[in-house]
A and B are shown apart, each in its own frame.
Chain A
């Protein structure tokens, strides 16, 4: 997918790029539709938070990264994992709690990880990943590298202390981190206006002397553009950015929450459904003659087949062996620094840890 390119130029007009973005978002959508189905029949357990409706935000943002950049997210992490290139098979197997899952079946929906993809996890504590992203950016600067760390969290997380603590340090120390607020207007059932003293939450960046932007989170190209600029700034000037992507989730907060009826009305949801990020990109491409109806149908069939394959794979993957229960609590080595010396402020390679 588009993450493989280092290209951060404005991609508008790039037919191949648009196809890739559309493909990724469609894959995310179909994948999560299957997640809902799997949840209903008990193949997925625990908490399961879907990203349906928000695909353009994660996809656009991740599409501007290089392979050696880092991504860290929340419990709402399936779509980011897909955008980062983690195989749907490995993600579905994780959701099913199987050995071939990207976290070996020990993380589940909220804790997808892939070292191979510099995907530093889904994290289940609201705000918990924000200091981590800041530390990753600190490490990049420590080594003198030019990577960046992209950090996702919801609009409700701006009210927790770790947000303030982290952005203050990132602004103070000028760290190469991009904080992307996925503003879907609600933290569970609490509307933004009922939780934050200011409604323009990107304005909070002012307190940290940090560049900020507000972007239409349903427009994948706009997100790409905004995050692209921030990434460039982080890479070349070591400056952090706070981006507020205004989006909307089409489903309930998690599988146990109805899509509408209590804290938000059916009418509001219906209005938002008119701005489906996938439909928006598709019609834009159709208007420009970049894709035909037949191609859309074929693409949909292709990603549906990929999701079916992921389901079958996950279903056949074994449960972790019982010995796995006691594995990975601690690393049982002491690494020898002589194996991987790294000088402070020297090239951007990540030294392997002996046990990793």
Chain B
């Protein structure tokens, strides 16, 4: 069935809330307003105000309310209107949710989900355009998923809700309207499993989240020039699917890592590290990274375009590792 990314998330929430009474959705504008991006459309009338809860603008507070509820057995889904606002909630995500199981010696698992859009949309400028995977993937005790397609959005969110650990789901404003085929029925995508979204044998493009759309565009364009790339969608950035990364690189002997966020200490650095350790003898060229420019996000259209990773930059990187002229 062809559905939007937004509706795929909505289906996931509805199905999991029907399946398990302990699951509830909490966040700003999720109930009466039906979600800032309409992801929770219809849920209030279906499940009532105890299970679809509008909060004040109080990110730290309601993130912690979710963790407290999870400590005593509920399964909260906490929606951040944007992960950019979740910076205020980070203490509860990191110090409470991620560490509770460990510091309690295994007594208090935190079965919950923190979700919302991450990264840049269009011309939202510096404070509303931040990609979060590198920040969150740094934290032991969290799982971090970044669905790039409607099918993965549904399948990963459902798995995240059923997982007994705190799972962070990074969506994308630019993804909500995208359409794709979503399998009928109880569609689950396992956490921690990458997927080869395109097969090729010349070079691996390893990426995640909304960058998948860029990578697929790159793959099409390169195919017309006779260059066949693997597009590996990590889907989960913590835990990383190391076997999938190494299998692809061992096949192609070349890799470009494409990420939405900044270069410094970015998730791409971790992937390159994995490759140099596991595939040292397989490489025919240094691994290159494509990422956001090392600046806050500018507003002006031309500057924003220059700052973001895109197809042209990725193609140039692929050609460089293949030693062909751009």
Q: Which residues of A contact B (CB under 8 A)?
A: 70, 72, 101-107, 111, 113-115, 120-121, 123-125, 128, 130-142, 161-162, 165-166, 168-169, 172, 327-331, 333-335, 337, 340-345, 350-356
Contacts and interface: CB of A to CB of B under 8 A. Distances in A.
Among A103, A130, A140, A334, find the residue whose CB has the most chain B CB atoms closer than 10 A: A334
Contact of B101 (A162, A166, A331, A352): A331
Contacts of A121: 100, 103-104, 108
Given A136-B68, A165-B60, A329 B107 contact: no
Interface in B68-122: 68-74, 76, 91-92, 95-96, 100-109, 111
Given A104-B105, A169-B55, A353-B109, A142 B64 contact: no
Given A70-B72, A131-B92, A139-B74, A355 B21 contact: no
B62 A133 contact: no
Given A128-B96, A131-B68, A335-B164, A330 B143 contact: yes
Contact of B105 (A106, A120, A125, A344): A106
B243 interface: no
Contacts of A172: 56
B107 A355 contact: no
Given A139-B73, A142-B74, A344-B50, A134 B65 contact: yes
Nearest to A105: B105
A355 B105 contact: no
Nearest to A122: B103
A142 B50 contact: yes
A268 to B, nearest CB: 34
A135 B105 contact: no
Contacts of B66: 135
B106 A128 contact: no
Q: Which bucket holds chain B's interface residue count?
A: 35 or more
Contacts of A140: 72
Nearest to A141: B50
Given A165-B58, A345-B50, A354-B164, A111 B68 contact: no
A103 B68 contact: no
A128 B61 CA distance: 9
Contacts of B105: 101-107, 113, 328
Among B19, B64, B96, B159, find the residue whose CB has the most chain A CB atoms closer than 10 A: B64
A320 to B, nearest CB: 9
A135 B67 contact: yes
A328 B101 contact: yes
Given A135-B71, A341-B21, A342-B73, A162 B141 contact: no
Interface string B138-173: 001101000000000000000100111100000000
Contact of A351 (B22, B65, B143): B22
B100 to A, nearest CB: 8
Interface in B157-199: 159, 162-165
Given A113-B105, A165-B58, A330-B141, A132 B73 contact: no
23 contacts: A102-B105, A106-B105, A114-B107, A115-B104, A121-B103, A128-B95, A128-B96, A130-B64, A131-B68, A132-B64, A136-B69, A136-B71, A139-B72, A142-B24, A165-B61, A165-B62, A168-B58, A169-B61, A328-B105, A334-B159, A334-B164, A344-B51, A353-B111
A356 B107 contact: yes
Interface in B2-36: 19-22, 24
B20 A331 contact: no
Given A132-B96, A166-B61, A138 B68 contact: yes
Nearest to A120: B71
Interface in B270-285: none
A327 B107 CA distance: 12
B63 interface: yes
A329 B102 CA distance: 5
B60 A162 contact: yes
Contacts of A101: 105
A329 B141 contact: yes
Contacts of B103: 103, 106-107, 111, 113, 121
Contact of A135 (B20, B68, B91, B111): B68
A123 to B, nearest CB: 8
Contacts of A165: 56, 58, 60-62
B106 A135 contact: no
A331 B164 contact: yes
Among B19, B73, B141, find the residue whose CB has the most chain A CB atoms closer than 10 A: B73
Among B71, B73, B91, B162, find the residue whose CB has the most chain A CB atoms closer than 10 A: B71
Contacts of B159: 334
Query: Closest 3 CB pairs between A and B?
Result: A135-B68, A131-B64, A104-B105
Among A120, A133, A328, A333, find the residue whose CB has the most chain B CB atoms closer than 10 A: A328
A97 to B, nearest CB: 11
Contacts of B51: 344
